[in-house]
Amino acid sequence: MIRTVAFLCLFCAYAAMSEPNYSLEEPLLYDTFPSDFLWGTATASYQIEGGWNEDGKGLSIWDTFTADPTNGNIANGDNGQVACDSYHKYKEDVQLLHNMGVNSYRFSIAWSRILPRGTGEVNQKGIDYYNNVINELLLYNITPAVTIYHWDLPQALQDRGGWLNPEIAYWFEDYSRILFKEFGDRVKFWITLNEPWVVAIAGHTNGEMAPGLRGPGILEYKVVHNLIRSHAKAYRVYHNEFYQSQGGEVGITLNSDWFEPVNATDPDHVEASVTKLQFMIGWFAHPIFVNGKYPEVMRQKIDAKSAAQGFAESRLPQFTEEESLEIMNSSDFFGLNHYTSSLVYPTPKSDISPATISWFTDDDVNEYQDAKWYKAASSWLKVVPFGLRRLLKWIDETYQKPIYVTENGFSDFIGNLDDMQRIYYYKHYINQMLKAIKLDGANVKGYYAWSLLDNFEWAKGYTEKFGLHYVDFNDPARPRTPKESTKFITKLINDHGFLP
């Protein structure tokens, strides 16, 4: 008997040690959101519009990246030439939004519809299309939240070096000015860049997304440098030339996971977590919200490693004094796209040779994946609701800006209408956001579910579905059908939160 108890206790102690409390489900908080809270769904131009060569639109890097169905870039060789056909069906999309009772909609503008060559001549038909979308939204009292760049760079600019060419800051500045001038009388909420981290890593480190370049440890640092410079120029244009007459806000949207220390009482694990956050969020947020410079921990680690690798200068560039001033304080809010969390602990694997170096090794931290965290269709998406609350608290304390959750959502393979897993995801993530607001005092002002529609999920084509509405991609009419999750979100918005 005693032996059994002793064994059980040992077992319990072991279980308690090796399995800290990562419980998925916590009791819900029954409370409501602030009355001026923005509720919306989000989409992006290349993922929904189609109309890829209509009305004078130029090619984008996604048209090019998907052009050859045999090159293996996209699951099933798919592309966004038609996608959800929102170029023609935007009125129906607005009806769906209206039916849900949202008060905002986040969508993006295709640069190559406005400027087919990226710079120079403006395509009036492109302007007309977005005027129609904006006016239709306003008819139903839905506030447009416009993303200026959601990854579909004009191919003409890629041909001139794309995000690797420092000149791009001026191209982006000019493009943004056109949007503020044409749409700013009605659009008061602007997001300059969507997820520059993904642009850098997927586009320039591992080549999984357009433009498909692979330059780990080198290219992503150059690209991010120019992305941040570009963002800041657009922000300054708005505040110097338009803010007085238009009075809107301009900010950036960053994506980040939460990094949970494997052992939260071990300072080394906590340091690993903060280091990961600095390499993912701080890379952008430190220059923009703090002091115009990259985070100290990045500066130290990348400088040291570059020197050890024999580079003449650090792979992490430096902003000039003038650039720092322009970049510092260049976002009116913190836009956060959040989907998932990872466990972290420190590892000393930092001195891999330049030949095998991956973007990861600059972190000096490694990740586990906890099998108990159940997954979405997307391989990287583990369902960890508490991660959103912890991340919101960290961002709130670190950067002290109003936060908008500009994307959050769940993918499956089937697109089934009875999407219980998606409802579970939204219920628990949104409740954790409510806890961040009510219990931690985080200044969160809005929430956009990704996504209004099943759509073109980049390299995964149409195989991973994030939609609140099912879209039949085999039917030329692309009919939309609300899933059960739409009803859940509609009720939540109508109730202003969680009723007991």
Binding interface with ligand PNW (CB under 6 A): 44, 47, 194-195, 198, 255, 337, 339, 378, 380, 407, 450, 457, 466
Taking alpha carbons only, the member of 215, 69, 92 closest to residue 482 is 92
Complex with ligand PNW: residue 238 or 339, whichever CB lies closer = 339
- In the chain, the N- to C-terminal Cα span, in Å, equals 46
Nearer residue to ligand PNW within complex by CB, 11 or 413: 413
Longest C-alpha distance within the chain, in Å?
A: 85
Cβ distance to ligand PNW smaller for residue 319 or 447: 447
The answer to whether 164 and 215 have CB atoms below 8 angstroms apart is no
Identify any residues that bridge with 149 across adjacent strands, giving them in sequence order: 193
Closest distance to ligand PNW from the beta carbon of 324 (Å): 28
Residue 28: Cβ within 10 Å count: 15
Find the catalytic residue in 136, 182, 195, 464: 195
* Residue 407 annotated in active site: yes
Give the nearest distance from C-beta 141 to ligand PNW in angstroms.
Answer: 26
Give me the least distance between CB of 284 and ligand PNW, in Å please: 14
Q: How far is Cα 247 from Cα 135, in angstroms, rounded to an integer?
A: 19
Helix segments in 22-109, DSSP class H: 45-48, 61-65, 86-100
Q: Calculate Rg over the CA atoms of the chain.
A: 23
Q: Which C-beta is closer to ligand PNW: that of 44 or that of 277? A: 44
Task: Give the C-alpha separation, 258 to 273, whole Å.
Answer: 8
Least Å distance, CB 299 to ligand PNW, is 24
Please say which residue, 426 or 450, places its beta carbon nearer to ligand PNW. 450
Concatenated DSSP letters of 300-332? HHHHHHHHHTT-SS-SS----HHHHHHHTT--S
* Concatenated DSSP letters of 329-362: T--SSEEEE---EEEEEE-------TTT--GGGG
State how far the Cα of 202 lies from the Cα of 125, in Å rounded to an integer.
Answer: 31
Q: Report residue 236: phi and psi, to 5°.
A: -65, -40
Kindly tell me which of 108 and 331 has the beta carbon lying closer to ligand PNW.
Answer: 108
Rounded CA gap, 227 and 199, in Å?
9
Residues in the chain: 500
Least Cβ distance, residue 279 to ligand PNW (angstroms):
13
The question of whether 367 is a catalytic residue gets the answer no
Catalytic residue among 326, 407, 457, 464: 407
CB-based closest residue to ligand PNW: 380
The answer to whether the beta carbons of residues 154 and 58 sit under 8 Å apart is yes
- Taking the complex as a whole, how short is the minimal distance between the CB of residue 326 and ligand PNW, in angstroms? 26
Q: Where is 422: in which H helix or E strand?
A: helix 420-438
CB nearer to ligand PNW: pick between 127 and 200: 200
Smallest gap from Cβ 177 to ligand PNW, in A, equals: 24
Catalytic positions, written as ranges: 195, 407
